[in-house]
């Protein structure tokens, strides 16, 4: 149960391969993350939609050529070039503004995807480190119980111990073997998840989880208002509001400038270019109720966007508060486990000495070993919970950036 055993076991597991740190793993995951590619594609699609909407406000030019023939006259060639420019089109302006807001929302969605990927990388990495450490703890417990069972067997053969003590030691050893096998299975699952996340085909060694290393305290009470997913929902609400405004402006007249030049050639004569320019005022009249239907649909979409924003704000506040309490509880548990581990180590030493003197039973020693192992495992779990709570709080507040990931990576290196 010495700390040197932990170092030796870690070295055996690590082998000659270089340790894969968190930043390297995240970069590998980021290079092939499907979620990021989806977000980037949505941004690109929305950029195209915004350009399409803006094109309605820019100059439009058309050219046409073709034969033209009137009854009783020879065929002529018609050439026409038309240039038009919107002067006043309030619905188009508001639609373009709505598309711009939706583009900003998709860009915030990309930022949110980046933070979600950081959270996933860090969580899987921490869980793999914890599974590695827990497997070592269970392996050491199995070794300790095995040594105790072997010692009880020797004492039984020498007539210094009862058969029940030897059987009890072997039972504890078998139970420790089962727990060690379960820890190895969970380690395999954690490794597989990490491999799939990073797109790796083989396992690289991980650094050890520093003993009793806890996350730093949050610098200030985190607020969720700066979270990119909240900003995205607010921008989506704004886009829906602008779209509704555009539908409400649909019955208004539009004003445009139109210039045209044309000529007719053929029939034994060469034509000349005729130019014309005019300002057109267009006023929508009857449309069978299409405009009112689109307006009603836009109003309902705005209500849905407002409800989604409110629901996410409530959820973010809940997550922040729960993760703050989770972090506080995990810190307290880790401190209690550390103090208990020191006491359990001293107790185990005293139990072994008392066993040699005959004042303590084999059961006392076995339970002391069990208590020490449980305290170490609980301290490790509290350490993992503290780090995960810290990550979740930063993610909910929209502050899980590259600097936070670097801070975590530095802490895990024990620097």
Q: What is the mean pLDDT of residues 37-41?
A: 95
Helix (H, G, I), strand (E, B) or coil at 71: coil
Residue in 142, 194, 135 with CA at minimum distance from that of residue 10:
135
On the question of pLDDT at 219 being above 80, the answer is no
160-165 own/partner pairs: CB under 8 Å, 24+ apart: 161/362, 165/361, 165/362, 165/363
pLDDT tens for 191-204 read 899 989 988 887 66
Q: What is the pLDDT of residue 208?
A: 63
Q: Are 205 and 13 in contact (CB under 8 A)?
A: yes
Kindly state the DSSP code that residue 210 receives in the 8-state scheme. P
User: Residue 4 has which token pair?
Assistant: 């040197």
On the question of pLDDT at 241 being above 90, the answer is yes
Q: What is the mean pLDDT of residues 277-301?
A: 92
User: Rounded distance, CA 242 to CA 233, Å?
Assistant: 14
On the question of pLDDT at 45 being above 80, the answer is yes
Band of the pLDDT at 185, cuts 50, 70, 90? very high
Choice among 27-31, 231-235, 335-339, 361-365 with the minimum mean pLDDT = 361-365
User: Rounded distance, CA 156 to CA 226, Å?
Assistant: 68
Band of the pLDDT at 15, cuts 50, 70, 90? very low
Bridge partners of 60? 84
On the question of pLDDT at 187 being above 70, the answer is yes
223 φ, ψ (degrees, to nearest 5): -115, 145
Q: What is the mean pLDDT of residues 282-300?
A: 92
Domain ranges of the chain: 20-60+76-256+287-312+401-412
Residue in 321, 255, 313 with CA at minimum distance from that of residue 87:
255
What is the value of pTM for the model shown?
A: 0.82
Q: What is the pLDDT of residue 204?
A: 64
Q: Are 165 and 361 in contact (CB under 8 A)?
A: yes
- Tell me the CB-side half-sphere exposure of residue 169, using CA atoms within 13 A: 24
Q: Give percent of the chain above pLDDT 90.
A: 61
Give the rounded distance of the alpha carbon of 190 from its chain centre. Answer: 18
Q: What is the pLDDT of residue 12?
A: 39
On the question of pLDDT at 3 being above 70, the answer is no
Q: What is the mean pLDDT of residues 125-153?
A: 90
Q: Are 273 and 335 in contact (CB under 8 A)?
A: no
- DSSP string across 184-196: HHHHHHHHHHHHH
Q: What is the mean pLDDT of residues 165-191?
A: 91
| CATH code assigned to 20-60+76-256+287-312+401-412 | 1.20.1600.10
On the question of pLDDT at 165 being above 90, the answer is no
- Tell me the CB-side half-sphere exposure of residue 408, using CA atoms within 13 A: 28
pLDDT tens for 78-125 read 888 999 999 999 999 999 999 999 999 999 999 999 999 999 999 999
Q: What is the pLDDT of residue 13?
A: 40
252 φ, ψ (degrees, to nearest 5): -75, 150
Give the rounded distance of the alpha carbon of 17 from its chain centre. Answer: 29
Higher pLDDT, 207 or 181: 181
Q: What is the pLDDT of residue 121?
A: 95
Average pLDDT, whole number, for the chain?
Answer: 87
Band of the pLDDT at 221, cuts 50, 70, 90? low
Band of the pLDDT at 166, cuts 50, 70, 90? confident
pLDDT tens for 316-352 read 999 999 999 999 999 999 999 999 999 999 999 999 8
């Amino acid at each position: 149960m010495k700390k040197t055993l932990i170092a030796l076991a870690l070295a055996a597991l690590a082998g000659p391969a270089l340790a894969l740190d968190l930043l390297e793993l995240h970069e590998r995951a980021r290079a092939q993350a499907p979620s990021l590619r989806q977000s980037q594609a949505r941004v690109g699609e929305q950029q195209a939609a915004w350009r399409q909407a803006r094109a309605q406000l820019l100059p439009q030019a058309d050219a046409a050529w073709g034969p033209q023939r009137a009854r009783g006259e020879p065929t002529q060639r018609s050439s026409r070039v038309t240039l038009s420019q919107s002067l006043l089109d309030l619905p188009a302006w508001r639609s373009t503004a709505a598309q711009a807001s939706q583009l900003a929302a998709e860009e915030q969605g990309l930022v949110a995807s980046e933070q979600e990927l950081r959270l996933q990388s860090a969580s899987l990495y921490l869980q793999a480190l914890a599974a590695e450490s827990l497997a070592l703890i269970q392996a050491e417990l199995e070794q300790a119980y095995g040594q105790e069972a072997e010692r009880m067997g020797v004492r039984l053969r020498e007539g210094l111990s009862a058969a029940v003590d030897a059987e009890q030691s072997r039972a504890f050893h078998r139970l420790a073997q089962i727990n060690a096998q379960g820890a190895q299975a969970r380690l395999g699952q954690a490794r597989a998840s990490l491999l799939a996340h990073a797109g790796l085909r083989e396992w690289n060694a991980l650094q050890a989880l520093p003993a009793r290393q806890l996350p730093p305290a949050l610098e200030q009470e985190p607020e969720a208002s700066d979270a990119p997913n909240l900003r995205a929902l607010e921008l989506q609400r704004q886009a829906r509001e602008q779209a509704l405004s555009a539908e409400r402006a649909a019955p208004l007249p539009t004003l445009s400038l139109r210039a045209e030049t044309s000529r007719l050639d053929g029939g034994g004569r060469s034509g000349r270019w005729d130019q014309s320019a005019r300002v057109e005022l267009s006023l929508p009249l009857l449309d069978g109720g299409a405009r009112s239907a689109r307006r009603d649909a836009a109003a309902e979409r705005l209500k849905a966007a407002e409800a989604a924003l409110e629901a996410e704000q409530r959820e973010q506040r809940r997550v922040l508060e729960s993760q703050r309490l989770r972090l506080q509880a995990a810190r307290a548990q880790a401190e209690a486990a550390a103090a208990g581990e020191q006491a359990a180590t001293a107790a185990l030493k005293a139990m072994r000495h008392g066993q040699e003197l005959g004042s303590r039973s084999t059961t006392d020693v076995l339970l002391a070993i069990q208590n020490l192992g449980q305290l170490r495992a609980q301290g490790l779990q509290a350490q993992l919970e503290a780090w995960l709570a810290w990550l979740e709080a930063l993610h909910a507040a929209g502050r899980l950036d590259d600097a936070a990931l670097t801070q975590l990576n530095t802490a895990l290196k024990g620097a």
